[in-house]
Chain A
Amino acid sequence: MPAALIRIENLRFRWADDADFCLDIPLFEVHAGERVFLHGPSGSGKSTLLGLLGGVLVPECGRLHLLGSELTQLRPAARDRFRADHVGFLFQLFNLIPYLSVVDNVLLSCRFSARRLARATAAGNSPAAEAHRLLTQLDLNASLHARQVTRLSVGQQQRVAAARALIGQPEIVIADEPTSALDAERQVAFLELLRDECDRSGSTLLFVSHERRLATGFDRQLSLTTGGAVSAGGSA
């Protein structure tokens, strides 16, 4: 078993004005190259967990290990830098900045991380060419690349957002209900694209959703129960 890419130990978090912990995770591990489905109903502290993994929140106690860095030990600016360099995020809806072009939306990840810019252009491509390549790979026709992002369909927008999360090959891609606005057929297709691209770029995928039926095709399935404990959800 290789060393865990993400390792959470005895982590507890509560919001400043709450008495109860909204997250209480004794142990949570994701290994490199894994594709993990995290089932979390609403109110299970899903967003909080994403905030912690992204380094915008800090736990009250416990350890939060990502790629061998102890996130809780880093300063806020270093956590922001860490997120920019190593984590690609993909959200539920409205992932794009309306006044930027499709390509500029994808390249946003490279603007805040020299590392991801360097990786995106490692093959000799210009950043824009790499963005085009990824978009095409994600089944977004070249004719759509020049379109205003607000005129793309939701499914197309999510693929642009996926390209942004994937560009520059971050070690971790965290997707938070990215398919919830898509119909069932497109959900499956989008998931397959996302998993394939993660494999291609060697990114570990943490997929969070409240819809258990999407768990097919993932290596491992975990559950975030109300009260914020993680349990093994059984292999899917």
Chain B
Amino acid sequence: MRWLLILAARSAWNRRLTLGMTLVAVALSVTLLLGVERVRHEARNSFALSVSGTDLVVGARTSAVQLMLYAVFRLGEASNNIRWQSYQAIAADPAVAWAIPLSLGDSHQGLPVLGTTGAYFEHFRYGDGQPLSFAAGVPFSGLFETVLGAEVAERLGYRLGDRIVISHGMGDSGLAEHDDKPFTVVGILARTGTPVDRTLHISLEAIEAIHLDWAGGAPLPGLSIPAEHVRKFDLQPKEITAALIGLKSRAAVFRLQRKINNHPGEPLLAVLPGVALDQLWQMVGFAERTLLAVSAMVVVVGLAGLVAVILASLGERRRELAILRSVGARPGELFLLLSAEALFVTLLGALLGVALLALLTTLLAPLVQAHFGLSLSAHWVTSDELQLLAAVVAAGLLASLVPGYSAYRLSLADGLTPRL
């Protein structure tokens, strides 16, 4: 038995080039399968950790999922804003413990700029209810001051005291700049692993101030209000994009939600973050399953290639099987010999796939973090991934029966003298 496995290994080594290629195919397919699963898992995780302790998210009437996407995850743009008066009315409701206004729309080097108030640093929670903490500096207090997320500071190399210019609108290039009113970095937040890391925070008043001399998305020609004069104007915001609401008691959540949804002034939408996330998962669930199914098919293709290669080699190995038979090998032992080879390659492919995934996640983690705000942790395998791996090995075991059975049949038919 042990000798048979050694024999299988030596035989495999003898055909290392062809088997090596199929090994690579199997390993890559395993990497793909586990990679899809990992990204799916991390995406859910990071979405779920992005907001915590917020009872309601309020915005203009749209779909619950879309509101969550732009208000919490900074993905996509709001189609409508809500009036400041509406926000004030909601914030003044006796059931409300705290409210955080959010004003989005501008950016800095492709990263979102968020206008808010000091309440943000006080009440916003993420993960298991952790508050935001400062790695350096303090919350903004002056008009042209900004607080950076950890990723913003790290990627762009900003430190306290640096001056930065905000662009009008979202996007990477071709944007008009608010270059007459630069901001000073006064604070840098500690890393959270949420969209907060990629956000620049300024005050609502600052948002108003940089748009004073603007109309319709462009500076008004001939009108320029220097930064030192903006305080003379009324900087009370007229609109905000969305608001996060915390309640004194969760029991009031549905009553307040109904009340906001029936707000008389304008059409508003209030959603429970958990409910909206569930809806989101239902929407992307189909895509996730499709992706997982496709990568599972790739694994099947890899294993089919493996079986084909071993079956093809069987033709040249009939003589070898006859020799083994003549020294006393049973047909069952030849079955084992050929099956062991396929299983061996599958196992090695699975291991290699895991190693490759670990390598890729380590290498690509900064890139993925920067572009998608997704933190890929470079751990080994989770229990879900282990289940997938077990499924791959089980499929490999099943596939290995094919060459095993062929060798068995062949050795019975050939006996000691293969008909070549």
- Residues of A whose CB lies within 8 Å of any CB of B are 47, 50-51, 54, 56-57, 76-77, 80-81, 83-85, 89, 91, 94-100, 108-109, 111-113, 164, 176
Contacts and interface: CB of A to CB of B under 8 A. Distances in A.
Given A56-B325, A97-B320, A108-B324, A76 B416 contact: no
Given A89-B416, A112-B328, 12 more contacts: A47-B415, A50-B417, A51-B415, A51-B417, A80-B328, A80-B329, A81-B328, A84-B328, A95-B323, A96-B323, A98-B320, A108-B324
A111 B417 CA distance: 21
A57 to B, nearest CB: 6
A113 B330 contact: no
B327 A112 contact: yes
B415 A56 contact: yes
Q: Is the interface of B mostly helix, strand, loop or mixed?
A: helix
Contacts of A98: 14, 320
A99 B3 CA distance: 14
Interface string B313-324: 000000110111
16 contacts: A51-B417, A54-B326, A54-B416, A76-B331, A84-B327, A89-B327, A91-B323, A91-B416, A94-B319, A97-B323, A98-B14, A98-B320, A111-B3, A111-B327, A113-B328, A164-B327
Interface string B121-136: 0000000000000000
Contacts of A96: 323
A218 B325 CA distance: 28
B14 A56 contact: no
Interface residues of B, number: 22
B415 A99 contact: no
Interface in B318-372: 319-320, 322-332
Contacts of B327: 84, 89, 108-109, 111-113, 164
A81 B331 CA distance: 12
Contacts of A111: 3, 327
Contacts of B14: 98-99
Interface string B384-407: 000000000000000000000000
Contact of B330 (A47, A77, A91): A77
